[in-house]
Every structure is written in structure tokens, then in C-alpha cells.
């Protein structure tokens, strides 16, 4: 599936900082989730006074990481100063023993491969700017077969660092 321009907004000449971009992403995600029970995989990219909303649907892990590379290129070539990313993901908690056993076997623990009772679905928003400032918010998703999924309360994580394939793309060469 190809990335596509979802929307384009123009703001005052001062532009939109990372914190404002993060709140824009949160507002969209909460509103969209209430209407549809899901959100698209979406990036908000701020450059000067404009914010481009780019949807990057994917059908495989390979395609997902190709889209991340496209977004990193856009950040690099557009002189964007901040971005936010909206996504749903499976998360799980593992014990130190489980982690050690997986490492010894040369395997990764992949949440989507865990039994349903060992994983949670979360909606998250992460944002970053060129200075390295970042934000991360998550919502627990409650699946309701045959009905719209429900979004739990917002939790803003107070983290020292944020790590992952879609985090801090500026530090990964998108400068």
C-alpha cells in the first residue's frame, strides 16, 4: 500500500511546535477512534507554518519499515522541524526469565505472536522535534467484537528516552 497525503493545514507564520503537534495528533486520534473504533497509521509533519498529514497503511513488516524510511526521507528533504506519529500496536510484559530464554534461543519476543491473554492493544502517539524533545502518550484499547472498540484514558509517559523504529527519526539521519 502506498503512503498518501491525508490532509494539509496552514497555521500562523510562527508554525507549530512539537507539543502543539502532539496535541493535534491526540485530538485526531481520540475523535477518529470514537467514530470508527480504530485509527489509520498516520504521521503529522510540521515544516514552518504547514502540517502535512501522511497516511502510511501497510500489510507486512517489510512494508511498514519501508514507509518509515520514506518518512525519514521526507523529514530530511523537507526541512521539517517536528513530527508526530499515530499508531496502534500490541504490547506485552515479559519476565526477565522469558527475556533471557528468548535471547539464549536467538529469538525476539513479538507481542502480536503472544496469546491474546498475554498482550494488550494500545493506541499511541509519539512526537519529536529536531532538538530531540519528544512526547509519548498511550491509550489502552478494549476490543469489542461486533461493536466499536473502546479507548481507555490517556496516559502520558514520563520517559528519559524513547526507543523504537518510529521514534526520533531526526537522530537517525533525518537532519
Dmax over Cα atoms in the chain, in whole Å?
A: 54
Higher pLDDT, 153 or 4: 153
| Residue 32: its H or E element | helix 18-36
In a domain, 84, yes or no: yes
Residue 66 in domain? yes
Report yes or no: 170 and 130 within 8 Å, Cβ to Cβ: yes
Q: Within a domain: residue 95?
A: no
Residue 172 clears pLDDT 70, i.e. is over it: no
- For 59-95, the pLDDT digits (tens) are 787 888 888 888 888 888 888 999 999 998 877 777 8
Task: Record the pTM.
Answer: 0.81
Contact assessment for residue 135 and residue 86, using Cβ atoms and an 8 Å cutoff: no
> Coil, strand or helix: which one is 86?
strand
User: Contact 29/86 with Cβ under 8 angstroms?
Assistant: yes
Helix (H, G, I), strand (E, B) or coil at 5: strand
- 94 CB contacts (<8 Å, ≥6 apart)? 102, 109
How many domains is the chain built from?
1
Q: Is residue 37 part of a domain?
A: yes
Percent of the chain whose predicted confidence (pLDDT) is above 90: 27
CA distances for 109 relative to 52, 87, 95, 98, angstroms: 34, 20, 11, 9
**Domain assignment present for 103:** no
Q: Which domain holds residue 81?
A: 4-90+120-172
Is pLDDT at 123 greater than 90 in this prediction? Answer: yes
Give the contacts of 2 (CB within 8 A, at least 6 positions apart). none
Q: Is residue 52 one of the residues assigned to a domain? A: yes
Write phi, then psi, for 159 (nearest 5 degrees).
-110, 150
User: Per-residue pLDDT for 13 more than 70?
Assistant: no
Distance of CA 79 to the CA centre of its chain: 20
DSSP state of 167: S
Residue 104 lies in a domain: no
The answer to whether position 111 is within a domain reads no
Amino acid at each position: 500500500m502506498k503512503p498518501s497525503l491525508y490532509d494539509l493545514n496552514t497555521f500562523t507564520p510562527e508554525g507549530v511546535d512539537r507539543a502543539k503537534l502532539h496535541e493535534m495528533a491526540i485530538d485526531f486520534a481520540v475523535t477518529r477512534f470514537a467514530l470508527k473504533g480504530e485509527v489509520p497509521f498516520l504521521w503529522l509533519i510540521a515544516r514552518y507554518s504547514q502540517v502535512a498529514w501522511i497516511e502510511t497503511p501497510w500489510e507486512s513488516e517489510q512494508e511498514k519499515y519501508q514507509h518509515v524510511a520514506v518518512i525519514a526521507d521526507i523529514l530530511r528533504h523537507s526541512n521539517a522541524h517536528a513530527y508526530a506519529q499515530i499508531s496502534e500496536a500490541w504490547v506485552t510484559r515479559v519476565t526477565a526469565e522469558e527475556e533471557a530464554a528468548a535471547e539464549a534461543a536467538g529469538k525476539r519476543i513479538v507481542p502480536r505472536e503472544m496469546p491474546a491473554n498475554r498482550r494488550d492493544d494500545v493506541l499511541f502517539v509519539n512526537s519529536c522535534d529536531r532538538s530531540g524533545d519528544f512526547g509519548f502518550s498511550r491509550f489502552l484499547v478494549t476490543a469489542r467484537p461486533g461493536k466499536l472498540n473502546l479507548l481507555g484514558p490517556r496516559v502520558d509517559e514520563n520517559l528519559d528516552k524513547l526507543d523504537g523504529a518510529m521514534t526520533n527519526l531526526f537522530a537517525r539521519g533525518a537532519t
